[in-house]
């Protein structure tokens, strides 16, 4: 019969544990000067103090990380979009095809041209000329009464030509060039550096569309509307953005521009330190991920509220609420995408940490996946398909390879230029595929190991 464990007396010469109970060591007497070891003090008290200090530092770093995640995204947005000319122009360039912006531009151009074509005056000049050529006064008066009709006809002609100009590729070019020139003015408004062709007055950023007006004027003249040739050079402004607090944002924008490249790295370092200092690191990682996602969700909701407030308090010079909404949405599009990406990434990380934990559901899922992999390996072995050395290697180094794959995926995400939610889902899919392949190879290695193991020679009773 097999001897039950832990029943044999230990060999006194082997240095094994002594099973006999020992009396507790008497407490050391207190020194005369009070330097003795108090109950609960000494090494145990110091260890407890260090543990409390580590947990406190970890909690502070994790909370700070969660708060700074949306701030880092905001700094990146300011640095990469608001204060970068090429990316700014690439962001607002599609607005030239937005129907609301096109309608607003047509209205402003028509207003600029129509204000300088006086129908009654033109009718009076025509009637006077005709009367000088012998037209009866009664007929001349009839021509003078055509002034309102001339105004209406001119407005229709101008609107038609302006619409054709605004919806053409030429306007897209004008829009991009004007915005590129305008960007220096925006940078000057936020940082005090550089100047551009666009004015920034009382927090209102205006875009000069005089070039488009000149093009409409030329087409009107070419179409036979000769009075349009008398239209002087127009400096018509299209309100691009308005904020009463624009001047107050200068210091914040300058600071965010400086830290735009380094703040995300600092946040990552703080988060990593907070997790490493935690007593339960897996739980700390999940809380950090969910906390950062929640902070980004709060900022995303605040951005929706800010959009509504901005559109409800537009100044009088902004004539199109739809165009203002389109411009606002274009400018904050990258920030919205970044916030959504951070939210999804935080949820994915927390879910992944949960699935590798000791919970009943994660254990059941991992067990089911391993059984599925073993079944596939047995089927492959039955069909003379072997994983070879790769299977044995995967079985021996599965944990290390899994960590390496996670680090590579994290590095790819960190180096990805402006990742999106689709980027996160794509990397998660790649990670799942790689882990599934690794599990299949490890299952193949186990199948080979079991096949090579000799059957037990001992009878069942002596196992």
What are the pLDDT digits (tens) for 180-238?
A: 776 766 666 565 554 443 444 555 555 555 566 666 666 666 655 555 555 555 555 55
Task: Report the distance separating Cα 332 and Cα 312, nearest Å.
Answer: 18
pLDDT in tens, 8-44: 444 434 334 444 444 444 444 444 444 444 444 566 6
Local confidence band at 175 (pLDDT 50, 70, 90 cut-offs): confident
- The confidence score (pLDDT) of residue 74 equals 87
pLDDT at 33: 42
Between 54-58, 136-140, 200-204, 368-372, the lowest mean confidence (pLDDT) is in 200-204
Q: What is the 3-state composition of the chain as percent helix, strand, coil, each rounded to the nearest 5?
A: 70, 5, 25
- 3-class DSSP state of 21: coil
What would you measure as the largest C-alpha separation in the chain, in angstroms?
142
pLDDT, tens digit, 9 for 90 and up, residues 69-111: 999 998 888 777 777 778 888 888 888 888 888 888 777 777 7
Q: What is the pLDDT of residues 399-443, one digit of tens each?
A: 889 989 998 998 899 888 888 899 999 999 999 999 999 999 888
* Per-residue pLDDT at 365 exceeds 60: yes
Bin 200: left if φ > 0, else alpha if -120 < ψ < 50, else beta: beta
Q: How many CB atoms lie within 10 A of CB 401?
A: 17
What gap in Å lies between CA 356 and CA 366, rounded to an integer?
A: 8
Q: For residue 343, give the nearest of 307, 282, 301, 304 by alpha carbon.
A: 301
What would the pLDDT profile of 272-331 be if each residue is shown by its tens digit?
A: 999 999 988 899 999 999 999 999 999 999 999 999 988 888 776 666 788 888 888 888
Choice among 50-64, 77-91, 264-278 with the minimum mean pLDDT: 77-91
Q: Could you say which DSSP state residue 235 is in?
A: -
For the record, the structure tokens of 223 come out as: 């179409």
| pLDDT confidence of residue 114 | 57
pLDDT at 300: 94
Distance CA 133, CA 275 (A): 95
Strands 204-208 and 237-242 turn out to be antiparallel
Residue 383 predicted with pLDDT over 50: yes
199 close to 180: Cβ distance less than 8 angstroms: no
Separation between Cα atoms, residue 218 and residue 160, nearest integer Å: 14
Q: How far apart are CA 242 and CA 327, in angstroms?
A: 11
Select from 254, 251, 260 the least CA-distant residue to 338.
260
């Amino acid at each position: 019969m097999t001897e039950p464990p832990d029943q044999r007396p230990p060999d006194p010469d082997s240095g094994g544990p002594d099973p006999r109970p020992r009396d507790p060591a008497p407490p050391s007497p207190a020194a005369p000067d009070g330097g003795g070891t108090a109950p609960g003090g000494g090494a145990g008290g110091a260890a407890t103090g260090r543990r409390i200090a580590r947990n406190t530092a970890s909690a502070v770093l994790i909370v700070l990380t969660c708060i700074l995640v949306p701030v880092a995204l905001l700094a990146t947005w300011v640095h990469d979009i608001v204060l970068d000319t090429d990316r700014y122009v690439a962001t607002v360039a599609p607005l030239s095809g937005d129907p609301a912006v096109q309608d607003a531009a047509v209205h402003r151009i028509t207003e600029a041209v129509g204000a300088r074509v006086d129908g009654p005056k033109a009718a009076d000049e025509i009637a006077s000329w005709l009367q000088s050529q012998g037209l009866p006064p009664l007929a001349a008066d009839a021509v003078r009464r055509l002034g309102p009709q001339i105004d209406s006809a001119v407005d229709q002609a101008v609107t038609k030509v302006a619409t054709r100009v605004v919806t053409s590729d030429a306007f897209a070019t004008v829009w991009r060039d004007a915005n590129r020139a305008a960007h220096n003015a925006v940078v000057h408004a936020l940082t005090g550096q550089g100047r551009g062709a666009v004015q920034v007055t009382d927090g209102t950023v205006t875009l000069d569309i005089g070039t488009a007006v000149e093009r409409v004027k030329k087409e009107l003249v070419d179409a036979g509307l000769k009075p349009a040739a008398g239209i002087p050079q127009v400096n018509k402004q299209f309100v691009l953005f308005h904020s009463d607090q624009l001047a107050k944002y200068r210091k914040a924008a300058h600071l965010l521009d400086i830290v735009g490249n380094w703040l995300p790295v600092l946040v990552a370092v703080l988060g990593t330190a907070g997790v490493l200092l935690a007593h339960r690191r897996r739980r700390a990682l999940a809380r950090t991920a969910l906390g950062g996602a929640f902070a980004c969700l709060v900022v995303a909701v605040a951005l929706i509220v800010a959009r509504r407030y901005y559109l409800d308090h537009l100044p009088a010079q902004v004539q199109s609420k739809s165009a203002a909404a389109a411009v606002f949405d274009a400018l904050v599009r990258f920030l919205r995408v970044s916030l959504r990406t951070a939210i999804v990434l935080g949820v994915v990380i927390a879910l992944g940490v949960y699935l590798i934990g000791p919970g009943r559901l994660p254990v059941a899922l991992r067990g089911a996946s391993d059984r599925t992999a073993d079944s596939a390996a047995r089927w492959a072995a039955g069909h003379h398909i072997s994983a070879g050395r790769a299977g044995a290697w995967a079985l021996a180094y599965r944990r290390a390879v899994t960590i390496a794959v996670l680090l590579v995926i994290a590095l790819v995400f960190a180096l990805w230029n402006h990742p999106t939610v689709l980027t996160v889902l794509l990397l998660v899919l790649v990670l799942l595929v790689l882990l599934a392949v690794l599990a299949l190879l490890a299952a193949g290695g186990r199948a080979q190991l079991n096949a090579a193991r000799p059957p037990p020679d001992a009878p069942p009773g002596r196992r």
